[in-house]
């Protein structure tokens, strides 16, 4: 279903995985990766949203460190993933997301160039939140983002819709962090934080060790509802 394209930016260019619905057209989504790169999991998730009618671009957010990172979930994969995470410049990452949004708006497959969404998982969950704060996007959805509580001072800049999915047993986002996030989002008119009791980080990763079917289906339904409300398809 997908192909790899190049995204231009002021610092160079980088790859992105493009998934297009069977109809050939639809609303646009930028999908932000886990710390494991644009691997098979991210392509599967992009294809899933393409099947729902979306044109999806998944940028290689680690390209400044090492282009083309695709890691598995073995101990060695985890070790390398955390090394990339520690080196990653999130501010530059937001610039790359903005460049991807701009490139997406140039795609002939897009139905509505004005209203674009962002979805992210793990590291990408934090990046989706930052995109909501800093980029011109209509809807952002973050799954179990790490470190969002450290950037809540930016939340008042959010103009679009924001939905965050938080795992109740997430060691990377402990209860006090989740409480801070929920409290701040409660003050915003178009933001929601959903908590999923009893599930761990990466509960929506297909075939992952922490995958939880019930939580994934509930979060997915909420995600689609938010996207359809803000960007379609209608």
Q: What's the CA angle centered on 184, arms 180 and 187, to 5 degrees?
A: 150
Q: Which of 170, 200, 212, 216 is catalytic?
A: 170
**Which is catalytic among the residues 165, 201, 212, 216?**
201
Other CB atoms within 10 Å distance of the CB of residue 159: 12
> For the chain, where are the E strands, in sequence order?
2-9, 12-19, 28-32, 55-59, 116-121, 139-143, 161-167, 191-196
Active site residue 60: no
Q: Are strands 28-32 and 116-121 parallel, antiparallel or unpaired?
A: parallel
Do 35 and 85 form a contact (C-beta atoms < 8 A)?
Answer: yes
End-to-end Cα separation, the chain, in angstroms: 23
Q: CA angle at residue 93 from 76 to 68, to 5 degrees?
A: 45
The answer to whether 201 is a known catalytic residue is yes
Q: Which residues contact 216 (CB under 8 A, 6 or more apart)?
A: 203, 204
- Between the CA atoms of 21, 27, 32 and 37, what dihedral angle is there, to the nearest 10 degrees? 20
Of 130, 119, 51, the closest CA to residue 92 belongs to 130
Give catalytic residues, as residue numbers: 170, 201
């Amino acid at each position: 279903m997908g192909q790899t394209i190049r995204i231009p930016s002021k610092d160079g260019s980088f790859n992105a995985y493009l998934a297009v619905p069977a109809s050939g057209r639809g609303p646009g989504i930028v999908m932000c990766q886990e710390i494991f790169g644009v691997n098979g999991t991210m392509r599967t998730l992009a294809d899933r949203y393409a099947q729902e009618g979306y044109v999806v671009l998944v940028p290689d957010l680690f390209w400044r460190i090492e282009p083309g990172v695709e890691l598995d979930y073995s101990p060695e994969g985890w070790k390398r993933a955390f090394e990339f995470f520690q080196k990653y410049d999130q501010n530059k990452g937001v610039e790359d997301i903005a460049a991807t949004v701009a490139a997406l708006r140039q795609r002939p497959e897009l139905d509505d160039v004005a209203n674009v969404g962002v979805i992210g998982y793990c590291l990408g969950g934090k990046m989706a939140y930052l995109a909501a704060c800093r980029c011109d996007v209509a809807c952002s959805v973050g799954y179990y983002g790490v470190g969002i509580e450290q950037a809540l001072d930016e939340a008042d800049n959010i103009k679009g819709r924001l939905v965050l999915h938080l795992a109740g047993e997430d060691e990377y986002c402990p209860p006090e962090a989740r409480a801070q996030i929920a409290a701040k989002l409660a003050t915003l008119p178009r933001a929601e934080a959903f908590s999923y009791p009893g599930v761990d980080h990466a509960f929506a990763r297909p075939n992952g060790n922490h995958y939880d079917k019930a939580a994934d289906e509930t979060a997915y339904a909420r995600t689609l509802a938010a996207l359809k409300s803000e960007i379609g398809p209608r």
